[in-house]
Structure 1
Amino acid sequence: MILNIDLVSDFVCPWCFLGKFRLDRAIEELRAARPDLDIRVNWLPFFLNPDTPEAGEPYRAFLEAKFGGPIKADAVLDKVRDAAAEDGLNYAFERIRTRPNTLQAHRLMYRAQSIGQTPAHIQMLADALFTAHFQEGRDIGDKDTLADIAAACGERRDAVREWLDGREDIDKVRRMAEGVRSQGIEGVPFFILNRKLAVSGAQSAAVLGAAILQSLENGKPS
């Protein structure tokens, strides 16, 4: 039985990292209970800040401008840290220097999916992108960094780097992101389960697992 999960996300969204972490836990528990399920996660692009400069912008200045000063910015980061700590996920916001434009990161993910990379590879790539940004402070808007990440996931670095220099799929990724917003999705993470049920926000693994089971009960997966 096929279980399709469309995951709308942005790789600079801290709640998306936590949402993926919790989804992974829910999927792990589901696979143990339902080995008959063929679970497929499809990543859909979302731009939290579509106007981010191509080269990115200073991270701390961005946060303080968005949230109204250093105290409020710190409060937001602390809220994320506290929520994630309950699940054993750590963030290193202090290591982040650049708020990247995520077009190239979304391109890289779209490429991996469109050329038929395995679910395990897609999972590894998503983990690597989030980890690079939120735990290592690397610039995931930089093409060399993205090529390094792809290589660490088993792809040919030179081929990926050359591809990133081109313009293939740029318009496609932008249209996909616009299509997501046209459906009324304004916040991420956003989970579409079996094209039948939607869950918004970084919900707990228990909530996600229950929603997935409900989507299965609402009829045969498409």
Structure 2
Amino acid sequence: MTPTNILSVEAYFDLICPWCLIGKRHLETALGLLARERPDVTVHVEWRSYPLIPATPPDGIPYRDFYVARLGSPQAVAVRQAQVCHAAREAGLTLALDRIETFPNTLLAHRLVRFVRRQSGAEATAALIDNLFTRYFIRAQNIGDGQVLSDALAECGVDMPGASGTPVRHDLDWLPPLNGPDDLPPRTGLGVPHFVFNGTHSVSGSRPPAALLEAMQRALARAKQIATRTAA
């Protein structure tokens, strides 16, 4: 296998962002299209945490109050939620924004994602992220709560320290903080979702699958150009 048929994907996200959930679904669709077009390509996806509002209180704040303060009025909130729900439906998702009570701090959830990424790999990480998105946006659960996060981990089949003998710590204080070189975004002010393909081509925002596929194709073409020049 040569570098010309390997595609790396760095996907920056936050679990409180509905556009990240929609973007994840679009990415999965685009990867399916790429697999049919280029079955020779091996794809490696790395999910990178980007907490948007890390200063949110640990117990969270009232969901509706947060968005009214952020957008200016209940009417503005209704318009934005209708826009998000419409985009989600086009991606095959039905959100329950009207039932969410708590706007959570996601730092603990991202620490859990990092733990799974290091312990169990990319497939388990994607499954956990899906589970947490579903719990928040579809089941209207508080993903800042340690018990909810522990339940998500168990549902994904990942063991926590202590799960095989000693009592499990549902407070999750044992999780290391997000401060490693593989936990931090490449620059501040990054909008999410944000996808980087082969380190050369990027797409910001919840773009449709066709736009993501085009960026993937360009990244693979660029890799081929570089390999050709190197061989020459």
TM-score, normalised by the number of residues in structure 2: 0.86
SS at match of 1:188: coil
Question: Match for 1:162 among 169, 180, 195?
Answer: 169
> What CA RMSD, in Å, does the superposition of the two structures yield over aligned residues?
2.2
The alpha-carbon deviation at position 184 of structure 1 amounts to 4.3
Post-superposition Cα deviations, 1:110-137, rounded to whole Å, max 9, x if no partner, equal 111112x243322211111111100000
Determine whether 1:3 maps to 2:7.
yes
SS at match of 2:76: helix
TM-aligned CA distance change 1:86 to 1:23, over 3 Å? same
Alpha carbons 2:14, 2:49 under 8 Å: kept: yes
**One-letter amino acid matched to 1:119:** A
Which residue is equivalent to 1:214? 218
Determine whether 1:147 maps to 2:153.
no
Question: In structure 2, how many angstroms separate the alpha carbons of the residues matched to 1:219 and 1:132?
Answer: 38
TM-aligned CA distance change 1:106 to 1:22, over 3 Å? same
Question: In structure 2, how many angstroms separate the alpha carbons of the residues matched to 1:103 and 1:197?
Answer: 28
Post-superposition Cα deviations, 1:74-126, rounded to whole Å, max 9, x if no partner, equal 111111111222222111001211111001111111111112x2433222111
SS at match of 1:170: coil
Post-superposition Cα deviations, 1:10-50, rounded to whole Å, max 9, x if no partner, equal 00001001000100100112122222222111111112212
**Gapped regions of structure 2 (runs ≥ 5):** 228-232
Which has the larger displacement, 65-74 or 86-95? 86-95
Which residue is equivalent to 1:65? 69
Determine whether 1:78 maps to 2:87.
no
Alpha carbons 1:192, 1:198 under 8 Å: kept: yes
Alpha carbons 1:45, 1:176 under 8 Å: kept: no
Determine whether 1:51 maps to 2:58.
no
More helix by share: 1
TM-aligned CA distance change 1:130 to 1:171, over 3 Å? closer
Question: In structure 2, how many angstroms separate the alpha carbons of the residues matched to 1:32 and 1:53?
Answer: 45
Question: Match for 2:125 among 122, 127, 152?
Answer: 122
TM-aligned CA distance change 1:2 to 1:55, over 3 Å? same
Q: How does 1:178-197 map to 2 (within 5 A)?
A: 179-180=184-185, 183-197=187-201
TM-aligned CA distance change 1:87 to 1:168, over 3 Å? closer
Which has the larger displacement, 30-39 or 50-59? 30-39
Question: In structure 1, how many angstroms separate the alpha carbons of the residues matched to 2:187 and 2:151?
Answer: 34
SS at match of 1:145: helix
Which residue is equivalent to 1:91? 95
Which has the larger displacement, 24-33 or 4-13? 24-33
**Gapped regions of structure 1 (runs ≥ 5):** none
Which residue is equivalent to 2:207? 203
**One-letter amino acid matched to 1:83:** A
TM-aligned CA distance change 1:127 to 1:133, over 3 Å? same
The count of aligned residue pairs is 218
Larger Rg: 2
SS at match of 2:191: coil
Post-superposition Cα deviations, 1:193-221, rounded to whole Å, max 9, x if no partner, equal 11111110000001101111111111159
Which residue is equivalent to 1:137? 140
Alpha carbons 1:148, 1:157 under 8 Å: kept: no
